[in-house]
Structure 1
């Protein structure tokens, strides 16, 4: 069963490790997960309005928790900034969540201390391609830092349907358990092997569980268009754990209520400064993808 305590950062900071680690976690843990598969629930699209009601809040939670069930393909680009982590990333991605899921990502890095004012560098990047059978990762290295380029490959067979459907259609209450007085959070197995950064946007269950668990701490403020998508704007207060982690108290996120995809996130400190952020630059949902990208990292 894919359980963990919600005590880590919102995204996997060590992105290159996170990509391979995600595949390895699946390979080592999926047999145990199969022994405890939950009943699969039928996914139904919910009529949504932007009014700040408890029903709409619950619908937003559930759609974010199960976002990968509400679209088949997605392609786009995003930027992620972290003052605490000291980095700025730019990621181009495409994901196919059909019967044989695939993914492609190109991540540009900038680890300068003044990251928010400087674009990610073309000199330091990583390309990940998963064709449904093999996960390949190319790291460009960095001439500036004297790091050589390298390519790694790993056989990762398609995820069994039983594993893929574990916790499908479940609600916030069904995702949260406890052991020895500590909360445990149940997470979906994502079959296309998204990296942590992309998963934060395309399957934002960490955000739903971490920011939106207590519906009294956030409100639906209305609708906003982000990257051409009509989104619901949500503003709220961080819980004590995240307040300490980010040294901030408030957040704002924009979510597509039809797919659960989070297109924008801002964590804001007492001086109204954004200290952690995700910004979608462009996105296309359920359109044709470039199939060649899934099998090449060059």
Structure 2
């Protein structure tokens, strides 16, 4: 019998890159070729990554306990959040929207370490995951991710760790990417792949880039999405820690979303965005509208909620706890 993880899909992290100048095109192609060479073998065994239009990927050990104060999704969940602090004079200009896009596309530049956990629920994919992670983006990067399969229900609801059906661990350190599969009966299976270390030049190549530099339409009219290099080889946690895919899809058209308020979630000041999904993505998510809550200082995505025309939650990512630039527990790599 196949495990639920087997139903999940994974799309290549290397896009068909096209750049605004010939020099940039050559640089991207060289980087993509090198990364693809080291990534192909990884793709053979990394089935847990979710397809969320472009990608979704894996993660840790959460150390902070947070007590819920109110429902995060009205009538559907008891996940923790804090009261929204509405800002009277919201700056919802094109300039501020562009600044927010750029912040989210380059969130890696605003912290060195992160640890935490979040839930990811997909009604269409029929899965509910609990993702725990630690990530070190220093000159000696490493990461640990634990992706747990929770009991899926047609309606989004709060679930605890006691609902775990199975899980997979991902560890990256010293140019080794390791997967430990705990989803099958018997002893866990381990797979190890040698990876190339991301150079400082590669890390900084798209630093500070805007959305116009990251989405390029080729001669056939197809969009090409250019992603930043990930020195810690993150999995699912990347959707929160570097939310470039959501930025390049949900927030591409500035006329389809608005900055509605500021807020406070898990002790962090946040920017709250609401918008409408384009027709292209309505089918992908079975949803009409979306709401995002983004950490103001880092651009990290803390919460995503998508709803259909009846107001039912169809897709959600809810951060349970998160800390930036705190000491990590490297013992998880053993």
Output the TM-score relative to the length of structure 1. 0.79
Provide the rounded CA distance (Å) in 1 between the counterparts of 2:97 and 2:203.
26
The answer for unaligned runs of 5 or more in structure 2 is: 1-6, 15-26, 35-88
Q: Are the aligned partners of 2:256 and 2:276 in contact in 1 as well (CA < 8 Å)? A: yes
Give the match for residue 40 of structure 2: none
1:166: how far off? 2.5
**1:128 paired to 2:167:** no
**Which residue is 2:323 aligned to?**
284
Instruction: Tell me the residue number matched to 1:188.
Output: 228
CA deviations on 1:177-204 (whole Å, 9 max, x unpaired) are 1111112111112111111x21110000
Q: 1:32 aligns with which of 30, 33, 49?
A: 30
What is the distance in 1 between the residues matched to 2:295 and 2:318? 14
5+ unaligned residues in a row in structure 1: which ranges?
Answer: 1-12, 24-28, 37-48
Work out the number of aligned pairs and report it: 259
Q: Say whether residues 1:154 and 2:196 are aligned partners.
A: no
CA contact (8 A) 2:287 2:307 kept: yes
How far did 1:119 drift?
4.5
CA displacement at 1:113 relative to structure 2: 4.8
1:208 aligns with 2:247: yes
Q: Take 2:13 and 2:259, find their aligned partners in 1: how far apart are those partners? A: 33
1:139 aligns with 2:137: no
Distance 2:126 2:32 in 1: 39
Residues 162-181 of structure 1 mapped to structure 2, 5 A cutoff: 162-179=201-218, 180-181=220-221
Task: State the secondary structure of the residue aligned to 2:124.
Answer: coil
Which deviates more, 78-87 or 114-123? 114-123
Aligned residue number for residue 39 of structure 1: none
Q: What is the TM-score of this pair, normalised by structure 2?
A: 0.71
Whether the aligned pair in 2 keeps the contact of 1:141 and 1:148 (CA below 8 Å) is no
| Cα distance in 2 between the residues matched to 1:137 and 1:115 | 31
| Structure 1: distance between partners of 2:28 and 2:93 | 38
1:58 aligned onto 2:56: no
> Matched residues in 1 for 2:260 and 2:13: separation?
35
Aligned to 2:287: 248
Residue 218 of structure 1: CA displacement?
0.7
Greater displacement, 201-210 / 153-162:
153-162
Q: C-alpha root-mean-square deviation of aligned residues, in Å?
A: 2.6
What's 2:262 paired with? 223
2:278 corresponds to 1:236: no
Shift of 1:174: 1.0
| Structure richer in strand, relative to its length | 1
